[in-house]
Amino acid sequence: MDSRVAVASLGGTITMTGSGAVAPTLGAADLVAGLEVGEIATLATIPGASLTFTTLLEAFDWAHEQVRDGARGVVIIQGTDTLEETAYFFDCLWPHDEPVVVTGAMRHPGLPGADGPANLAAAVSVAAAQNSRGRGALLVLNDEVHAARWVRKAHSSLMNAFQSFPGPAGLVVEGTPRYFHPAHRFPALSRPDAVPAVPLIEATVDDDGSILDWLNVEGVVVAATGVGHVSAGMAEAISRARFPVVVASRTGAGTTFSGTYGFVGSESDLIKRGAVMAGWLCPRKARVLLRLAIGAMHPIDDVFAARGGVF
């Protein structure tokens, strides 16, 4: 295989066609026309909301094989609805210096100003660039390069839907990525053979936490208010839980605390009850990390202590 960028498609808006309401139909070969790439593959043709960890593990294995065979980097195309989660999935497992870049489109090919071709071209340039090495998984849309652990979809439909609270890691300028910070990444987790069911529950006003008592799962992420706060009822339910509970902030930016507040349901109270705080990870990324950690039998406290920090 040549050393150019390998590209795989999983589906999503970028692949959708139709005379009215659209659905995914196009494959990788349809999307990369005119781009100088290496190996291409259509691994799935489904919307982003229907992706599973099984599909993502298959995509990971394909990407791993391409780099092992000499690819300079890999681009994974998919729907934007879950792009922030799959980017972090790859970031947790990716062991290579060569980057894996995820991208998609906010407008399908039949709309004026469809952004798919530009996003894909930018993603390929980022994956091929020497200064992208050692950065793990990256998300590229709208000529912005985002680090997987920070990025989130912050708008349902706008072209600049993806944002990172510290700002993008870089920009694509004249076809070349320009980064604002040196490369940094965490050691890769072991690839699990399977991943367990881990629901994400949002804490809300007048929430008694009884849903935790109904669950038969291997772990739960609670999207808590503020810096990691839940109701007294939810706090008692966390004490009764027969599975690991990770607490993240539902706000979309900022970290959970560890010792500022002391009331029932506060962050310090939940830690005493055995909950693990997600730190800077948002609830959706915390769920990805918890599923992978349990699946690979990594110590949950250690994994979140390492990956929930800034560096």
Active site residues: 13
Compute the distance between CA of residue 186 and CA of residue 135 in angstroms, rounded to an integer. 9
CB-count exposure of residue 140 (10 Å: 0-12, 13-18, 19+): buried
Separation CA 189–CA 100 (nearest Å): 15
Task: Judge whether 75 and 123 are in contact, CB under 8 Å.
Answer: yes
**Greatest CA separation for the chain:** 60
- CA–CA distance, 89 with 106 (Å, rounded to integer): 21
| Phi, psi of 212, rounded to the nearest 5 degrees | -65, -30
56 close to 86: Cβ distance less than 8 angstroms: yes
Size (the chain), residues: 311
The span from the CA of 55 to the CA of 10, in Å, is 9
User: Which residue matches tokens 């980017």?
Assistant: 87
Beta carbons within 8 Å of 296's beta carbon, 6+ residues apart: 189, 190, 191, 192
